[in-house]
Structure formats: C-alpha cells, structure tokens
Amino acid sequence: MEKYDLVVIGAGPSGYAAAMRALDFKKKTLLIEKNRVGGAGVTNGALSSKTWWELSRETASFRKNLKRFNIKVPSINYKEIQDEVMRAVEERKSMLEEHMRLMKDSHYTELLSFKKGAARLISQNEIEIDTGAYEKEVVWANYIILATGSRPRHLPDLPIDEKIVMTSDGIETMDDFPESMVIVGAGVIGCEYATIFSGFGKTKVHLIDKGARILPFEDDDVVQVIERNMENNGVLIHRNSRLTHMQIKHGRVEYELEYDNGTKDIFNVAKALVAVGRTPNYEELWDDNVEISISKRGIEDSDTQTNISNIFAVGDITADISLVNVGELEGRYAVEKIFGSPHRKLIYENISTIMFLSPEVAGVGYNETQAREKGIDYKVVTLDYSCIPRAIAKRNTQGFIKLLVTNDETMKILGVKIVGNHASSAIQAVALLISMDKGIEELAECVHPHPSITEGIQECVRMLLGKSLFKPAALRSKLSCRTSMNSVYNDIHF
C-alpha cells in the first residue's frame, strides 16, 4: 500500500492550491480528481461564466457606440462566442495540467503524484480510488484534505433536463441564443446570467424575485443601479412572486407565478435557468465508520479541520463562503495548519468579492446592511463616479464609491463598496488595511496614479478627514457624508 504525507481529494481551485502548498513543505502528496482538473472554478463556473460576461459586455458596449462607426447592428455569431468561452476554459485547464506534468521533470518528482478516479475514505487514513474498469486501489495518508467542491442545487418540483430547463451546467451546451429565458433565483448567479444574456441583446430575460428587489443582501443604492440597468436592457423582473408551477410544453417552458397580492400569471419562454445556489459534493465520499460531521450547508469545520483530527475540508464542500478565492485561501491555510504554523488566523472579514453585473460591483468588508444588522455605529461617505476624472475619460460615469468606517476618532475601515468600471481593481488597498486593522490616514496622502478610479477612494477618505477637494455641502447630489448611530442617520457638515 502506497503511503503519503497528504492526500488531497479534488483538483479544483482549493484542492490544487492545497497540493501545491504541501510541496513547499517537502511533503509527499497525492492529488486525486474524478473529472476535470480545475473543477467548476474553470470548466462550468467562475472562469467560463465570467468569459461569457466579458464577451457580453464587449457586445453591449459595441452596440451602444455604433454611431461612432456609422454602421448598423451586426449579427452575433453564437457558435463563435461559445467557442471563445471554451478556448478560455481549455487554456486555463491545459496550463494547470501542463504545470503538473512539468513538475515531474523537476525536483518535485518524488513528492507529487496525480491519480484520476473517484476517491472514498474507508477509514480515517485509508482512501480507496476507483479508476474505472473495475480497478481499485487503496492508499494510506497521514492527513487528508477533502476539496470536492459543489454542484448546482436542484429544486425537486422543476423538470430540469439540462436542455430546456437548465442549471449553470447545462447553459454551456446550448446551440444558439434563446429568444426568451426565465431565470429562477435573483441572487448573484441569477443576476449575473440575466446581465450576460440581456447584454448580448438576443434574449428577452425574465427574472423571478420572491422579494421586493433583487440581491436582498445588498444595500438599496447598489440594487437600484443594477435593477435600473437590467430593466433598461429589457429584463422583466417578477418582483414579490413565487414560482408555483413549471413544465416543459411543446419544447418550451411554461411557468406560473403567484404574487404577494394573490394574483397569478402564466408565462411561456424558450428556456429556463435555475440559479438557486449550490450543493456540496460529499455523497459517498466516506464509509459509515468515518463519522465526519455535516450540516445542511456542508461539512462542519473549525479553521478547515473537521471533527476527525487528521481530516480537513476546504472550499465549497464546507459551510463557509463559496468563492474561488476563499477556497484557495482555505486550501493553503489547511496545509499550513497541518505541517507548519500559520502566521495569522483564517479570517473572512477582508475577503474581496466581485459581482459581474452591469456595472460590475466589488466590495470588501461590511456593507451598510451588514453593519446595521450587527448593530455597529459607523460613518459612511459616498462619492459619485462623475467626480472621478478616469470615469469621465472612459465616458461612463455611472456608479459610486461608498466607504464605511467606525464612528469614532480612529475611523478604522469597516468596508468599501464600489459600483462601476474598474471596481474590482480599486478595492485591494482597502482590503489590506482591513486585514491590518488600520484606520484611513494611510490612504489620505498616498499618491495615486492619475487618472485612476482609486483617486475616488482617496477623495472619500479626505471627506472623512474634513479636507476633501469637493465639499459635500456644495455637491449634495454627488457626495454625501453621514453617521449612523443606533440606525439613525445624521449628515456630517464640513
């Protein structure tokens, strides 16, 4: 029986990161993958959907500026766009596979092994690998990291066939833009796909929202911008609605909604996309004698360690945040906890996020909704994109920057939310300061490149310090600076 210091089950973002980090500790490591290296983070998740978004955004921008080129709206080649997405996926997957192959020709050759197959824990140290064709082998591991990811969540009453009624797995296999599509779920995934398909201008998108507005975890001012853009792009948002019935009828989708006021409506569209979250992949991952604790959300863990001391769990399979960057962080942290001593505790307060909407939305730390829920008193400043030279130069001033700090003399940063072009590129300095538990003065006098979106963050900081270029009292429609104490707002006047 082959013995390893560490066996990692799952070669998605978190598992791959864990295996590579283990090599830094010179540990004999086995990485096992049942399907495709890169997991959903590459093949039918983050990378593929964001490539769709980039191509959709380019298409929407081109259509918007047709007058500059004095041409009519050109036709869109779905097959070419689909092939471009597949090329992006293959490029990333091939790089990961080539990296592992080249490792065999380096000084890591005695440390890293890779096996294709379905893994199952038959004890807390033994892993059975089913490589197909009735071939199985058992290996021994001092430590095990479970990183098998997640899959789209299914609703039992919906006729999901991945052809007409689809999840994000089936959306990749369509042969053309549907003339209409209903999206079940108005969270991040549903809203991103609504943005993608409405952006191409070929699909009438319906979005089912059980509440009064989409993205219920976001602040009102963020949601207002996103909803306005969606509706301007032709998206029909079914607010305060409940899906009571859906069926495939004559090759199309018929669905019925019941609204909060008791009325009902029936709609008919070409396709349906179910985007109601993801389910962790832990079925049949271990025998009954391996009693790993689980909850409805995933494997329960304490700083990546399960209730079994030598077994760790990272990424979407756990009950923590399901993001690629979080999974990679957890994978690396688990290895450092096993073989070393992490310099800092695993924290999630400074996790940067981005929502690929129109415009993009990026943030780190708390938003106002979360701060109020936690009973935190804070100061908040908001700066409209029209005050930022880079946004003016890009001819797109839609958006704003919102910065939250503690409502005291230290003004430690609680969070930032940016809605607009280059949002994801502008938040990292704030993320660093949050992780360092620092205040805002470090940003106030930092020399930012000009013109850049980050200059807007600097102006927010200067507003808080009472020394901004633009004064909120003069530009009330563009700037605001206020406090929230016990959820009561008061404007700050300079």
The three-state (H, E, C) secondary structure of 158-226, written as one string: CCCCCCCEECCCCHHHCCCCCCEEEEECCCHHHHHHHHHHHHHCCCEEEEECCCCCCCCCCCHHHHHHH
Determine, yes or no, domain membership for 372. Answer: yes
Residue ending a domain, choose from 252, 276, 300? 276
What is the distance between the alpha carbons of residues 41 and 10, in angstroms, rounded to a whole number? 12
Determine, yes or no, domain membership for 344. Answer: no
Whether residues 383 and 471 share a domain: the answer is: yes
* Residue 226 contacts residue 215 (beta carbons within 8 Å): yes
Determine, yes or no, domain membership for 351. Answer: no
Pairing outcome for strands 352-355 and 361-365: antiparallel
Whether residues 296 and 441 share a domain: the answer is: no
DSSP string, 237-279: EETTEEEEEEEEETTEEEEEEEETTS-EEEEEESEEEE-S-EE
Question: Splitting the chain (494 residues) into consecutive groups of 10 residues, what average pLDDT does each group show?
Answer: 96 95 95 89 84 94 83 88 94 90 80 93 96 87 96 93 94 92 96 96 96 93 96 96 96 97 96 94 93 90 93 90 88 95 80 92 94 93 95 94 92 93 87 79 79 91 89 87 81 66
Whether residues 40 and 143 share a domain: the answer is: yes
3 state SS of 139: strand
The one-letter amino acid at 396 = N
Residue 103 belongs to domain with CATH number: 3.50.50.60
Whether residues 407 and 473 share a domain: the answer is: yes
Q: What is the pLDDT of residue 26?
A: 95
Nearest to 355 by CA among 214, 152, 184: 214
Residue 305 carries which DSSP code?
A: B
Pairing outcome for strands 252-259 and 3-9: unpaired
Contacts of 360 (CB under 8 A, 6+ apart): 354, 419, 420, 421, 423, 424
Whether residues 227 and 315 share a domain: the answer is: no
Of all helices (H) and strands (E), which one includes residue 419? Answer: strand 413-419
Determine, yes or no, domain membership for 364. Answer: yes
Whether residues 247 and 271 share a domain: the answer is: yes
Residue ending a domain, choose from 261, 276, 291? 276
Residue ending a domain, choose from 290, 305, 339? 339
Number of structural domains, the chain? 3
Whether residues 298 and 364 share a domain: the answer is: no
Residue 5 carries which DSSP code?
A: E
Whether residues 454 and 368 share a domain: the answer is: yes
Determine, yes or no, domain membership for 463. Answer: yes
Whether residues 387 and 480 share a domain: the answer is: yes
Whether residues 241 and 370 share a domain: the answer is: no
Range of the domain at 189: 165-276
What is the distance between the alpha carbons of residues 84 and 492, in angstroms, rounded to a whole number? 50
Nearest to 272 by CA among 207, 182, 188: 182
460 phi and psi angles, rounded to 5 deg: -60, -45
Q: What is the pLDDT of residue 75?
A: 85
Q: What is the pLDDT of residue 392?
A: 95
Contacts of 77 (CB under 8 A, 6+ apart): none
Whether residues 240 and 365 share a domain: the answer is: no
* Residue 168 contacts residue 153 (beta carbons within 8 Å): no
Query: Could you tell me the two tokens for 33?
Result: 């993958």
3 state SS of 308: coil
Whether residues 7 and 137 share a domain: the answer is: yes
Determine, yes or no, domain membership for 71. Answer: no
Q: What is the pLDDT of residue 494?
A: 55
Determine, yes or no, domain membership for 324. Answer: yes
* Residue 413 contacts residue 407 (beta carbons within 8 Å): no
Q: What is the pLDDT of residue 172?
A: 82
**How many CA atoms within 13 Å lie on the side-chain side of 467?**
6
What is the distance between the alpha carbons of residues 438 and 213, in angstroms, rounded to a whole number? 34
Residue 412 belongs to domain with CATH number: 3.30.390.30
Determine, yes or no, domain membership for 75. Answer: no
